[in-house]
Structure 1
Amino acid sequence: MANEQVGLLVPSGMLERPLSYSSMQEVYCISRWDTARKYCLRIVMPHGSLLLQRNMIRYRNILTKSVRKEVVMKELKNMVDFVMTTPLQDEIVTRAPLQTLTDLLSEKKESPDWEEWAEKATMVAAPLLAERCATSELCALLARLCRRRPRAAPLPALAPPVRRVLTRNVDFARAPNARRLVRDYISAVSSHNSGAALVRRFVEVTHGERAACPHPRAAPNLAAVALAALDHRFRDQPTPHLCDDAEDDVLCFADILEHMCEYEDWVCVVAGVLQPVPLCAGALACGRVAARLGGVLRALAGDARCAVHAAVAPARAARPHPPSWLRAASPADPLLALPHRQLCQLWGDMVGSLLKCCSKRKSFLQSMSKQLPDFLLVALTEHPAALEALCLMLEWEVASGEQTQLEIIAALQGTDLGQKYYKDLCERQNNLQRLQAEGGPRRLALPVRATDADVAALLEAGALGNLECLSLAFTSVTSACAQHLIKLPSLRYLNLWATQFGDTGVQLIAEHLTRLQVLNLCETPVSDKGIEALSGLSSLRRLNLNSTKLSAEAFEILRERLPHLQEYDIRYTEAW
């Protein structure tokens, strides 16, 4: 009889002392566990009960001492069946089988038929691997099996432990063998004739059928494995790059990044891990990898969320290494090995997404001034985003120097669409001169029904060069009217109380209305992102942030950077 036990006094462990017959009140077989009843007895004692079951030592002895393969496989299957059906939850029952499997694979590792042996053992242990976490040593052995015979590896048996690693691992730095298992498993999957479809299916199953993946660690772990595999393959590649057949083994990891962008919740994760560019120059120089990365960048640029498409822009700390994706995909001096026409289209799409959302600002164009040749090249392909950016450089006086301005004008006039953009710019400049001419009222308030279109129409009506105070309180204006407000350089007082004027509008006026002294943002949707931009308004004396999303940290920073701020209202905010 075995000596595993579960009782009221001793939850689990080995039965080290014999039991006297006089202390046993009742002994009977466990009948409700059909598959294991011949191995279990229940002994009722005065102070509780014991559940006795066959010992795992029996299996361990047979599996490690037997030399006949058929005997080992039979007993391995018996052990797995026993573990999966036993009602006991003991450390020896749950962990010993995996250790026994590890010992079996380790002891025969140098034999010529190890791969065949490992395949059979893994298939037999598949139910166990699906329910238990593999140890680091076992992960290394399973990864070795995937490397040695990728086409013959038992992929269905290895899929559960691989997904368990992806969904539960929190630090690959402490579990390198686990990451190696995932990497080698994916390589084995891709080596099959239908490898591309199998890799896509693997990503699909890992994400799950829900709109959002239920495992928050799955996406960052999968992206980390893909990036590490690409970096390992191309880190020491000579330049210029020469493609070879050995690269086929890692192209699947670039495919994985592209497949991940098919899921809305995972696009944010991919954007986060790709900012700034985490790949080495060798990977970017490979045309086949670059083609797949181009698909990833198009997905990021096409996403409407600022947190996603902003990943292609330069980081705040302008450093050449690692570069941003706008630098890596530069048509003038590309790191990404794509055809010139595709680079221009991709680069223009990325710039266009930024200008439509969070980066239609003077500071962004100033940060991109070193990439003016890229704007000129893309503008000659008649990409609207590059043409718009060049016009803004002239309109906002970002382009300094007569020679630079002439180059921009020549590029705009070099195409039919560019000529149209330049004509519109000239008309806006003429209207701006009329708008800023002396005259008009000093104070102006729009009615509550006013919209962004009304603000635009007002500024086109005549000279408002004397306008110092403007009230848009309780109107329906949004951040879109900021592009018109910045044309009023004499503005000192601006009231936006209870409007939908948000962060992007505040950022824009903070860069252009440098003489602003009084600003009312009470009950507007502005947050710290926009409020922090106000630190550049050195002339600001009064500021109303009542009932906004202001935090205490952002307000302290604002006070430090605006020492001349005399009055402020922060009631009903976190800083209050």
Structure 2
Amino acid sequence: MGDRLGSTSNSLLLNPVDTCNAYYSLSQDDNISLAPPSNVSTTVATNSTTNPTTSSTLCMFIDGRPIQQRYKLLTDGLMQVCRVPHARNIIEKIRFSRFLRRWEDHHLTLEHNDISSNTHEGYMDRPILYTSIEDICPWAKTKMIDSKYRFCIRIVTNECIYFFQVGTLYLRDQWFYSIQWKRNKLKFERTLRLANRPEILLKEMTHMIDFAMTIPIEDVEIHQFPLEIISEILQQQQFNLPRFVHENVIVSLAPLLEKNYPSPEICDFFTRHCRDSPRSQIVIEMFTPVVQRILKHNTDFGKYPRMRIFIQEYLHALNSQNDGLRVVQDFIKRIHGPTMICPFPRVLSNFVSVCLAAIYNFFEDRKNFRFEDKESYRAYEEEADSQLVCYTTMLQTMSTFDDWRPQLGLLLQSIPFPDEALTHDRFIEIFKNLVKNLVDDSRCEIHQTVLGIREGKEGWLEMFCLGSIACDDDGEMFSLILSNLLSRFSIASKSSIAHRV
């Protein structure tokens, strides 16, 4: 490449020193002014400014922290194009000199595999394949022929050199990073699909995620593409990857999942890890932020059933820790927050949905399991009962929060449990505490939730009535509910009479 036009330094690395040679700083009067970075030496700043192969991406310099300029992903647009063959001798260098070049206007499109023009003529009579690009970098105006445009991108292929010219610095950098993304996206896609060895697969996944997190492009595709391709790879090789690869993939995915939901395939991958290694530290450190994001923002587990299963297995993994019930209860308290009112209105309904589905599956699975001996049956019962206790205790813990109690009572007013649950001793023993929390509340709208949801429909009061399906204490719970309701009604009546007087 030494005899080709200009230098060919590699600009694929997104080095903050290279990509940010100018910063914005806020003065005391809140005016924004252009200033060099304080944490970069003068020599480095000078070199990065004068180097024609570095991008001049601007950064906001606020409170001592550089915030890099972000760009929208481009897929097409108008540009001026010049194509120069590689000069092999002095005569060709004179022939291809900048004084003899001409510029052509083209409407370029960044396709999946190449850069193409709508007209397919002139300098762009054939597309520029991403695989044929040897180097791409911003190019200084001083090296180009004079024209109305000022900012260029230089693309070196194995056949010739292309110059793309635009009118603004922002547009130049936007095109530069968009081409970089398309080029590397294709490279990662091909490499990951051809990788057979787990260590190579993990290495390429890590490189792809790092590239997606550092490139200054703001678009849904930037984060969705790594999730989609990793989901595809995990689905194909889910049983061929060793455990250390599982854990490293989870750690690598963490930055992407801070602002994105896991795909169904990734949920299956996480679910399998929770089942195989419930006491792994990865579950606590990496899955907790993902689960919190789902619980706070998800609206419909009916559309994402595998996401709900992942949360169920995560909660079961928490329950497998030392003093598991306390760990689960602490998790609920952290989700609710220290304030009297939870700032996330969807958390409760998502929690209840997860618990109800888990309790229903528990009793459905008991009908379908067949055991060869008593030992396997006993082991299954111990494991299953711990899950039932976990999810029922979660419902009880939710009833201890004043702001959640009205909605929780409404969600459970229709008695959304199978008959097997209402006759299960351990379930009823824990669930009674939830009903007590409802009737001990001073608000009338909560008291109404223990009654039937409509006329002719039985409520929790009737469920605990003597001789009913859930009564296992000779009507003691029924008497407690009734006495509390009557006492609250009496207090409310006296207060109303006093108010009238």
Class of the TM-score when normalised by the shorter of the 2 chains: 0.5 to 0.7
| Candidates 188, 197, 211, aligned match of 1:59 | 188
| Candidates 147, 151, 155, aligned match of 2:279 | 151
Structure 1 contact 354–360 (Cα < 8 Å) conserved: no
Task: Give the % identical residues.
Answer: 24
CA separation in 2, counterparts of 1:200 and 1:71? 41
Structure 2 contact 440–484 (Cα < 8 Å) conserved: yes
1:512 corresponds in structure 2 to: none
Give CA deviations for 1:227-272 in whole Å, capped at 9, x if unaligned: 111111124757xxx9931221232111110111222111122111
1:73 corresponds in structure 2 to: 202
Structure 1 contact 291–338 (Cα < 8 Å) conserved: no
1:203 corresponds in structure 2 to: 332
Structure 1 contact 183–225 (Cα < 8 Å) conserved: yes
Structure 1 contact 59–79 (Cα < 8 Å) conserved: yes
Unaligned runs of 5+ residues in structure 1 are: 30-41, 362-451, 453-476, 482-498, 502-576
CA separation in 2, counterparts of 1:147 and 1:244? 17
Question: Cα offset for 1:213?
Answer: 1.4
Question: Cα offset for 1:315?
Answer: 3.2
Q: Which has the higher contact order (CA 8 A, sep 6+)?
A: 2
Structure in which a larger fraction of residues adopt strand: 2
CA separation in 2, counterparts of 1:189 and 1:87? 37
Give SS of 2:205's match.
Answer: helix
Which runs of structure 2 are paired with 1:51-130 in the superposition (5 Å)? 51=174, 52-53=176-177, 54=180, 55-111=184-240, 113=241, 115-130=243-258
CA separation in 2, counterparts of 1:296 and 1:479? 29
Unaligned runs of 5+ residues in structure 2 are: 1-10, 13-70, 79-108, 118-122, 125-143, 155-162, 368-377
| Candidates 443, 464, 481, aligned match of 1:329 | 464
| Structure 1 letter corresponding to 2:496 | S
1:434 corresponds in structure 2 to: none
Question: Cα offset for 1:102?
Answer: 0.8
Structure 1 contact 313–325 (Cα < 8 Å) conserved: yes
CA separation in 2, counterparts of 1:205 and 1:191? 19
Structure 1 contact 25–43 (Cα < 8 Å) conserved: no
The structure-2 alpha-carbon separation of the partners of 1:163 and 1:43, relative to structure 1 and needing over 3 Å to count, comes to farther
| Candidates 274, 287, 290, aligned match of 1:161 | 290
1:244 corresponds in structure 2 to: 381
Give SS of 1:109's match.
Answer: coil
Give SS of 2:416's match.
Answer: coil
CA separation in 2, counterparts of 1:337 and 1:152? 41
Question: Cα offset for 1:203?
Answer: 0.8
Structure 2 contact 110–116 (Cα < 8 Å) conserved: no
* 2:420 counterpart of 1:286: no
The structure-2 alpha-carbon separation of the partners of 1:228 and 1:82, relative to structure 1 and needing over 3 Å to count, comes to same
Question: Cα offset for 1:296?
Answer: 0.7
| Structure 2 letter corresponding to 1:333 | G
Structure 1 contact 309–354 (Cα < 8 Å) conserved: yes
Give SS of 1:277's match.
Answer: coil
1:49 corresponds in structure 2 to: 172
2:483 corresponds in structure 1 to: 352
Structure 2 contact 274–314 (Cα < 8 Å) conserved: yes
Question: Cα offset for 1:27?
Answer: 4.6
Q: RMSD across aligned C-alpha pairs, in angstroms?
A: 3.5
Structure 2 contact 72–218 (Cα < 8 Å) conserved: no
CA separation in 1, counterparts of 2:420 and 2:490? 30
| Structure 2 letter corresponding to 1:258 | Q
Give SS of 2:172's match.
Answer: strand
CA separation in 2, counterparts of 1:309 and 1:297? 10
Give CA deviations for 1:261-301 in whole Å, capped at 9, x if unaligned: 22211112211111021111211222222221111111111
Question: Cα offset for 1:129?
Answer: 1.6
Structure 1 contact 275–311 (Cα < 8 Å) conserved: yes
In terms of Rg, which structure is larger? 1
| Structure 2 letter corresponding to 1:479 | S
| Structure 1 letter corresponding to 2:487 | K
Question: Cα offset for 1:119?
Answer: 2.7
TM-score (ref. length: structure 2): 0.61
Structure 1 contact 251–289 (Cα < 8 Å) conserved: yes
Question: Cα offset for 1:173?
Answer: 1.7
CA separation in 2, counterparts of 1:312 and 1:102? 45
Give CA deviations for 1:107-137 in whole Å, capped at 9, x if unaligned: 21233x5555333211221121222122233
Give CA deviations for 1:62-112 in whole Å, capped at 9, x if unaligned: 33322332332233222222222332112331211111221231121233x
The structure-2 alpha-carbon separation of the partners of 1:65 and 1:301, relative to structure 1 and needing over 3 Å to count, comes to same
| Structure 1 letter corresponding to 2:415 | V
* 2:436 counterpart of 1:298: yes
Which runs of structure 2 are paired with 1:422-437 in the superposition (5 Å)? none
2:25 corresponds in structure 1 to: none
The structure-2 alpha-carbon separation of the partners of 1:119 and 1:314, relative to structure 1 and needing over 3 Å to count, comes to same
Which runs of structure 2 are paired with 1:427-576 in the superposition (5 Å)? 479-480=496-497, 500=500
Give SS of 1:193's match.
Answer: coil
CA separation in 1, counterparts of 2:460 and 2:290? 35
Give the total of aligned pairs: 346
Give CA deviations for 1:42-69 in whole Å, capped at 9, x if unaligned: 9861374342233222233333322332
CA separation in 2, counterparts of 1:7 and 1:49? 11
Structure 1 contact 219–266 (Cα < 8 Å) conserved: yes
Give SS of 1:16's match.
Answer: strand
| Structure 1 letter corresponding to 2:116 | R
The structure-2 alpha-carbon separation of the partners of 1:61 and 1:338, relative to structure 1 and needing over 3 Å to count, comes to farther
Structure 1 contact 130–161 (Cα < 8 Å) conserved: yes
1:264 corresponds in structure 2 to: 402
